[in-house]
Amino acid sequence: MKRRDILKGSLAAGALALLPKGGAQGAPQNVPSLGRRYRNLIVFVYDGFSWEDYAIAQAYARRRLGRALALERLLARYPNGLMNTYSLTSYVTESSAAGNAMSCGVKTVNGGLAVHADGTPLKPFFAAAKEMGKAVGLVTTTTVTHATPASFVVSNPDRNAEAQIAEQYLAFGAEVYLGGGDRFFNPERRQDKKDMYAAFAQAGYGVVKTPEELARSNASKLLGVFSDSHVPYEVDRRFQGLRVPSLKEMVQAALPRLAAHRNGFVLQVEAGRIDHSNHLNDPAATLWDVLAADEALEALTAFVDRNPDTLLLLAADHATGVGALYGTGRSYLESSVGIDLLEAQKASFEHMGRVLGTNPDAGQVKEAYRAMKGVALSDEEAQMVVEAITKRVYLPDAVRYSIQPANTMSWAMVQKNAQKPERPNIGWSSGQHTASPVMLALYGQGLRFLNLGLVDNTHVFRLMGEALGIRYQNPVMSEEEALEILKSRPVGMRHPEEVWA
């Protein structure tokens, strides 16, 4: 008897242990419809963004910046709902399976781009849009070849094969690629020594690597790569003077180039590092990347207002962390202290790690936390950080908190006084992705009274198809088939996010 038959037999017998882990059997299907077409489509993905991140940013914007988030205003007035995110074989998705669900309309296993576990390629939505003549753009704060943008345009069994994905991008020929990832384009950094910059230039792209070059370029097709790996966090760009464009500046470079095309365009914008800072348990890095996304969102909604034949779809792909502001003090009266204290945090752990190097002493650690996190560490806490960096001794445990030494650096500055917080009252459940439903929202003309409700993330594919009048079906794989294939694979997926250099 083949394994597949055994599985089917057990399921028929009602064996609880073999019931699908992630599947949707018996779940109500909610398939809201737009009821109209658009010429242009913008998909704005907040990677790893939870409602807890939203709550902290909303409170910070109101309390410290004296304004409401553009996202808050949008959610208050336009259709929004919740999206289930589970992958084909896990309640907890990673970015490529989440990207595939949105771009291909079918569930896949974690780890590959627009592909099933048996290697069957899927057609991503932006590839179909390109076939019907739409210009295509990808703008992100991660490496431009990272899972979320890549899953919308190319198929590859390994999301980490980014040097190869850079070549697939050249063959695909989108009009705009903006993000990080020099090491996948630079001949001195690529293993095969291929000069991808020269290849893109040969194909008619303006190639830019600094904010100044981006602002100056008048090329109609653009490859912008602004950092060796991911584009630095907004908190470091803003307060530590790192010279990279903001997400808004990248969006503003992309929009006019794409809008110049006769047949309209599709654009994915990704606030890609909210996920990373949440993996690292770094509340200030998350906050400022959400605020940077908000500035980009303002530029996008302004474009939609001027070009009402454009649909803007906002989605988180999954939650990460999650870092939550928790109630503290008598009657929770001290809860907002955590919001106020975030103002003193002027750098990410990633930047602190670069400053501290591989062999810091306790005095240097204390000074870095004082200057960059606004926190006075005790001797004991500073020593905890020294040991994490120099000896890989991690606290409180390396299973739940998996991105090290950052998670220990975060743990070192955890709030100690429950009645009167002297440090932000933000707690973390893990350094991993989580299973909660996430944000889905729409902005555009003729949508005000649409009720989105709770949908599956695969429904994004149908909404995009309806918006542009593109209809096709990718092959579906069952969870049982996928599990059978995964069993015979020698290795599982690599760690989903490389976030600590």
- Closest approach of Zn ion to the CB of residue 95, in Å: 3
| For Zn ion, the closer CB: 294 or 317 | 317
In 3D, which of 314, 367, 451 has the Cα closest to residue 33? 451
Nearer residue to Zn ion within complex by CB, 124 or 421: 124
**Residue 47 or 53: which CB sits closer to Zn ion?**
47
Does 404 sit near Zn ion (CB under 5 A)?
A: no
Taking the least distance from each CB to Zn ion, the nearer of 99 and 206 is 99
Instruction: Give the whole-angstrom CA distance, residue 175 versus residue 10.
Output: 51
Q: Least Å distance between CB 263 and Zn ion?
A: 30
- Eight-class DSSP state of 342: G
For Zn ion, the closer CB: 94 or 249: 94
> Of 439, 485, 484, 477, whose CA–CA distance to 107 is shortest?
477
Q: How far is the first Cα of the chain from the last one, in angstroms, to the nearest whole number?
A: 48
Which is nearer to Zn ion, 97 or 337 (by Cβ)? 97
Q: Is 317 near Zn ion (CB under 5 A)?
A: yes
- Which position among 58, 89, 95, 151 is part of the footprint of Zn ion (CB under 5 A)? 95
> Are 296 and 269 spatial neighbours (Cβ–Cβ below 8 Å)?
yes
Residues 6+ apart with CB under 8 A from 189: 182, 183, 228
Nearer to Zn ion, 95 or 348 (CB): 95
Residue nearest to Zn ion (CB): 95
- What are the angstrom distances between the C-alpha of 82 and each of 55, 132, 495? 16, 30, 27
Smallest gap from residue 385 Cβ to Zn ion (A): 27
Per-position x/- string for 141-170, each x denoting binding to Zn ion as judged by CB under 5 A, each - no binding: ------------------------------
Task: Show Cβ contacts of residue 1 under 8 Å, excluding neighbours closer than 6 positions.
Answer: 9
Q: Tokens 């949908």 identify what position? A: 455
What value, to the nearest 5°, has the Cα angle with vertex 70 and ends 65 and 76?
115
In the complex, least distance from residue 147 CB atom to Zn ion, rounded to whole angstroms: 7
- Residue 440: φ, ψ to 5°: -135, 130
Residue 431 φ/ψ, nearest 5 degrees: -110, 30
Stretch that binds Zn ion, among 13-21, 39-47, 71-79, 477-485 (CB under 5 A): 39-47
Pick the closer one to Zn ion by CB: 48 or 105: 48
Q: How many residues bind Zn ion (CB under 5 A)?
A: 4
Q: Write down the number of H helices and E strands in the chain.
A: 20, 12
Q: Is the Cβ–Cβ distance between 428 and 322 less than 8 Å?
A: yes
Rounded Cα gap, residues 239 and 229, in angstroms: 20
Provide the minimum distance between the beta carbon of 361 and Zn ion in the complex, in angstroms, as a whole number.
36
Task: Please report how close the Cβ of residue 48 comes to Zn ion at its closest, in angstroms.
Answer: 5
Token match 């037999």: residue? 9
Q: Which one of 15-23, 91-99, 388-396, 400-408 is the stretch in contact with Zn ion (CB under 5 A)?
A: 91-99
Separation between Cα atoms, residue 325 and residue 144, nearest integer Å:
31
User: Could you tell me the smallest distance in angstroms from the CB atom of residue 119 to Zn ion?
Assistant: 23
Q: Which of 7, 41, 42, 47 binds Zn ion (CB under 5 A)?
A: 47
Scanning 66-74, 94-102, 229-237, 398-406 for contacts with Zn ion by CB under 5 A, the matching segment is: 94-102
- By rule CB under 5 A, what string of x and - marks binding of each residue 177-216 to Zn ion? ----------------------------------------
CB of 481 to Zn ion, least distance (A): 25
Give min distance, CB of 326 to Zn ion, in A.
24
Mark the segment that binds Zn ion (CB under 5 A) among 251-259, 312-320, 323-331, 354-362: 312-320
Tell me the window of 89-97, 122-130, 308-316, 356-364 that interacts with Zn ion (CB under 5 A).
89-97
Of 275 and 456, the one with the shorter C-beta distance to Zn ion is: 275
* Residues 6+ away with beta carbon under 8 Å from 456: 24, 27, 29, 30, 83, 84, 101
Letter string b/e over residues 439-464, b meaning 16 or more CB atoms within 10 A of that residue's CB: bbbbbbeebeebebeebbbbbbbbbb
User: How far is 248 from 321, CA to CA, in rounded Å?
Assistant: 25
Give 47 or 289: the residue with its C-beta nearer to Zn ion: 47
Shortest distance in whole angstroms from residue 94 CB to Zn ion: 6
Q: How far is residue 389 from each of residues 161, 354, 358, 384, 397, measured CA to CA in Å? A: 28, 11, 6, 9, 15
Query: Measured from the CB of residue 291, what is the shortest distance to Zn ion in angstroms?
Result: 19
Contact string 257-296 vs Zn ion (x = CB under 5 A): ------------------x---------------------
CB of 141 to Zn ion, least distance (A): 12
Secondary structure of residue 71 in the 3-state scheme: helix
Stretch that binds Zn ion, among 162-170, 186-194, 316-324, 393-401 (CB under 5 A): 316-324
Nearer to Zn ion, 83 or 413 (CB): 83
CA distance 387 to 393: 6
Report, in Å, the least distance between residue 496 CB and Zn ion.
8
Q: Tell whether residue 234 is a contact of Zn ion (CB under 5 A).
A: no
Q: Which residues would be at the binding site for Zn ion (CB under 5 A)? A: 47, 95, 275, 317
